[in-house]
Amino acid sequence: MTRSKKQQKKGQIDFSDSCLIMSNVIGTLVIVDSTTGRKWEISEYGKTRPMMIGDIMNINADQPAIFEQGWAIILDEDIVEYLGYSELYKSIIKPKDMDNFLKLPENEIKDILRNAPNGMKQTIAKVVKEKIANKDPNFDSYAKIKFFEDNLKIKLTSDSA
């Protein structure tokens, strides 16, 4: 059963409850709880799946990078706080917020990227590459592409310097 608003407001955490997690990677995200053997596949960027909180705790103990790098996002503030990820999640860009993030002034983007985990930076790079490939008008200038290349430390096009 997914945590109710009442449980969330009280801050109660029952490891047998579930909460939503969201894929924050381009492509399929596969998460396996090595303790129980349960497996979750989320096939699209931004899609959600319920996961038992106990499984989240197991996965976080065994494979913390899944949540620390922002590959999967826990969509329950109490769980995020319980795990100590509140500050980290300030630099995690959710799929629904990605377009607005990419339109921010460069200094704000730079500040967020400075604190973002590498997994989040990889996702941003893939989104920007897709926008360049799809000839998004917001990514048609050399300066904009170069800004993201410099700040993500990745080559985004074959013809950029």
Q: Of 70, 90, 110, which one is at a domain's C-terminal end?
A: 90
Domain membership of residue 159 (yes or no) is no
pLDDT above 50 for 160: no
Q: Of 59, 90, 121, which one is at a domain's C-terminal end?
A: 90
Measure the CA–CA gap between 115 and 70, rounded to whole angstroms: 12
What total number of domains does the chain contain? 2
Residues 76, 119 within the same domain: no
Q: Of 57, 72, 90, which one is at a domain's C-terminal end?
A: 90
The structure's pTM equals 0.81
pLDDT of residue 138: 85
Domain range enclosing 62:
5-90
Tens of pLDDT, residue by residue over 36-51, are: 999 999 999 999 999 9
Residues 103, 84 within the same domain: no
Sign of torsion, CA 100 105 110 111? negative
Give residues with Cβ within 8 angstroms of 65, minimum separation 6.
71, 119
Measure the CA–CA gap between 152 and 147, rounded to whole angstroms: 8
pLDDT bin (cut points 50, 70, 90) of residue 2 is low
Domain membership of residue 161 (yes or no) is no
Residues 142, 69 within the same domain: no
